[in-house]
A and B are shown apart, each in its own frame.
Chain A
Amino acid sequence: MTAGAALTDLTIAEARDGLREKTFTARELIEAHLAAMEAARGLNAYVTETPERALASAEEADRRIQAGEARPLEGVPLAIKDLFCTDGVMTTAASRILDRFTPPYESTVTRKLWDAGAVMLGKTNLDEFAMGSSNTTSYYGAVENPWRRRGDNRPLVPGGSSGGSAAAVAARLCSGATGTDTGGSIRQPASFCGVVGLKPTYGRCSRWGIVAFASSLDQAGPITRTVRDSAILLTHMAGFDPKDSTSVEREVPDFEAAAGRPVKRLKVGVPKEYRVDGMDPEIEALWQKGIAYLTDAGMEVREISLPHTECALPVYYILAPAEASSNLARYDGVRFGHRAAGGGDLLDMYESTRSEGFGAEVRRRIMIGTYVLSAGYYDAYYLKAQKVRTLIARDFDAAFADVDVVLTPTAPGAAFAIGEKEDDPIAMYLNDVFTVPASLAGLPGISVPAGLDGDGLPLGLQLIGRAFDEETVIAAAAAIEDRAGFDGSPAARAGPGL
């Protein structure tokens, strides 16, 4: 293994500490990652690489470290999901309709990360407008999962929508990445790529400057290789922002400390409704292992009931498209992004621009959303879904009266091949069956890699916590991580294999 490969293998905590101890320079760390990114372009994890900016930031980081002025994330190389607006750097949402859009402002979350000293390596690929569970709906092409089934070279999906971020973290093309999660878009790709993904409580991270999909559900969060690293990144992403009216005014705890917090005597709930018909026996076995790990850590296990679980996906597929149809009304070819060429009147221009600019899945969801909000159907679909959402949130409230954290599988299976499930939207939607309920209730959830399936692919377990209790979620996830002994080594990664 070369020195470069060793640097790309470092966790965020190790990179941070190594830089401070001057074991290596920020320039060396960044250069190792830029070389890895170039060698791994076949994965299509990045939409835009920003090497010049990264090297300039590395120089600044080295100067500060020498001067004893290092900030908390000084020199740490990160990838940013291309849904976060970055000042002067193209931001696409993986959609043609935002073609060449270059924001003149910085999202609050990325601003906080740069203020803490982190370095941007580039912008990562995603499902168009974060709508998807496979990263195959991107205008910039599918992302390949760095993992392969044993003895099978077919490329697999990284999950979605933060597929580029999860693939980049797994393949060692960054130390950590940002993602966003509306119904599972951080947790499901983390599970598919064998990495950790944390969706914070709704309101914990500012949504300002993040391209909106479904505003009552969207949350930013970290994707990393360890639980501790997710805790470190979240500390520097979270916090009140007056520019987001749903941002919550609350102190940000030291999440890193929670990664080492004892979990003894905490109660973990296992919801019986998540044991769905036809559940993959490997997922069931993984879940049992998770229960055993937490028992070993001293936690007390209780069966709980979340009776409205099976309603969550249909509720989500009314509310998220409804909100998306409103949010995406702004893309009209007038102020930014793509405008269709050709004559015609204003209406022609709108309709041509939007049919050329949006991909099939985005068009489908805008139309579903338009329909459920239209006169005569609003009460039957949208209002009904909002009421069932209340019932789903109440289920969690009742459960958290008895337990401190809930344990479930993250996804119903491992990564599937690119092209599978493409012709059936509902089969694709079912990927999020375990992640959507916590999103609807606004609760924090994490996916932690807990084992491999029979084909050698990673599988994740999900922990869901009380609102604003990310700390318990982090502590319990660390307890699983410590016991699962997951070494996280995909077929394709920086250094060996690439």
Chain B
Amino acid sequence: MSLDKATVARIAALARIRVPEAELETLAEELSNILGWIEQLDAVDTENVPPMSQAADLKLRWREDVVDDGGIRDKILANAPDPRDGYFTVPKVIE
């Protein structure tokens, strides 16, 4: 699979990563090389093979639906880039 600049720009937008126009070409080439390399898997017969989504054969556990943590607002806000009045902040979204 060879990716063009427009596709790379679309992936970057989906990933919320700004890629300058000048870097699109190089990135398209790098990503195409990696995708070309992983496409060797197409040759493997996976008919009737179930997908594996975790390494351990686990069953998720149940627990009581109770609050067991919390009341630590200031600790949580301590790392925020621009907390105000006990809240996280973002650029204005509603005009």
> Contact at B16–A383, with CB atoms within 8 Å?
no
Cβ proximity bits B62-81 to A, threshold 8 Å, 1 near / 0 not: 01000000001001101111
Q: Is the CB of A317 within 8 A of B38?
A: yes
Task: Determine the residue in chain B with the shortest Cβ distance to A384.
Answer: B41
CB contact list, A300-359 vs B, under 8 A? 308, 310-311, 314-315, 317-318, 325, 329, 332-339, 343-352, 354-355, 358
Q: In the complex, A109→B35 CA distance in Å? A: 36
Chain B residues touching A, majority SS: loop
Chain B interface size, under 10 / 10 to 19 / 20 to 34 / 35 or more: 35 or more
Considering only residues 39-58 of chain B, those with a C-beta below 8 Å from chain A are 39-42, 44, 46, 49-56, 58
* 6 cross-chain CB contacts under 8 A: A102-B78, A245-B58, A339-B81, A351-B13, A371-B11, A425-B33
* Residue numbers in B under 8 Å from A390 (CB-CB): 49-52
In the complex, are the beta carbons of A104 and B50 less than 8 A apart?
no
Enumerate chain B interface residues (CB-CB to A < 8 A): 3, 8, 11-19, 27, 30-31, 33-35, 37-42, 44, 46, 49-56, 58, 60-61, 63, 72, 75-76, 78-82, 88-93
CB distance from A351 to the nearest CB of B (A): 4
| Distance between Cα atoms of A216 and B54 in the complex (Å) | 5
Q: Hey, which chain A residues are within 8 Å of B46, CB to CB?
A: 384, 387-388, 391
A279 in the interface (beta carbon within 8 A)? no
Give the distance in Å from the alpha carbon of A339 to the alpha carbon of B40 in the complex.
39
User: Is the beta-carbon distance between B18 and A345 smaller than 8 angstroms?
Assistant: no
- Do A337 and B15 have beta carbons less than 8 Å apart? no
Q: Known A104-B78, A366-B15; judge A202-B34 contact (CB<8 A).
A: no
A201 proximal to B (CB < 8 A): yes
Write the nearest CB–CB distance from A280 to chain B, whole angstroms.
21
Taking a contact as CB atoms under 8 Å apart, the answer to whether B52 and A308 are in contact is no
Asked if B52 contacts A350 (CB within 8 A), the reply is: no
Q: Map CB proximity to B onto A346-389 as digits: 1 under 8 Å, 0 otherwise.
A: 11111110110010000110111011001000000101111111
| Contact indicator A203/B88 (Cβ below 8 Å) | no
Given A339-B81, A384-B46, also A367-B91 (CB < 8 A):
no
Cα distance, A334 to B27, chains bound together (Å): 27
Q: Given A104-B76, A336-B80, A348-B91 in contact, is the A311-B34 Cβ separation under 8 Å?
A: no
Query: Which B residue's beta carbon lies closest to that of A442?
Result: B55
Do A426 and B37 touch across chains, with their CB atoms under 8 A apart?
yes
A351 and B16 form a contact (CB under 8 A) = yes
Residues of B within 8 A of A354 (CB): 15-18
Given known contacts A311-B41, A346-B93, A370 and B81 CB-to-CB distance under 8 angstroms: no
A102 touches B79 (CB 8 A): yes
Inter-chain contacts of A308 with B (CB < 8 A): 44
CA distance A308 to B92 in the complex (A): 52
What residues on B are CB-neighbors of A370 within 8 Å?
11, 14-15
Against B, the Cβ 8 Å flags (1 = close, 0 = not) of A186-203 are 000000000000000111
Tell whether, in the assembled complex, residue A337 and residue B81 are in contact, meaning their CB atoms are under 8 Å apart: yes
A426 to B72, CA, bound (A): 45
Complex: A383 Cα to B49 Cα, angstroms: 11
B51 pairs with A344, CB closer than 8 A: no
B contact residues around A332 at 8 Å (CB): 16
- The answer to whether A339 and B78 touch (CB under 8 A), given A216-B53, A384-B46, is no
| Additional A-B contacts beyond A248-B56, A364-B34 (10; CB < 8 A) | A203-B55, A242-B61, A245-B61, A329-B16, A332-B16, A348-B91, A371-B11, A388-B44, A393-B52, A441-B55
Chain B, Cβ-Cβ closest to A100: B79
Question: Are B78's CB and A387's CB within 8 A?
Answer: no
B34 touches A368 (CB 8 A): yes
Which residues of B have CB within 8 Å of A295? none
Q: Write out the residue numbers on chain B whose beta carbons fall within 8 Å of the beta carbon of A217.
A: 55
Closest A residue to B82 by beta carbon equals A339
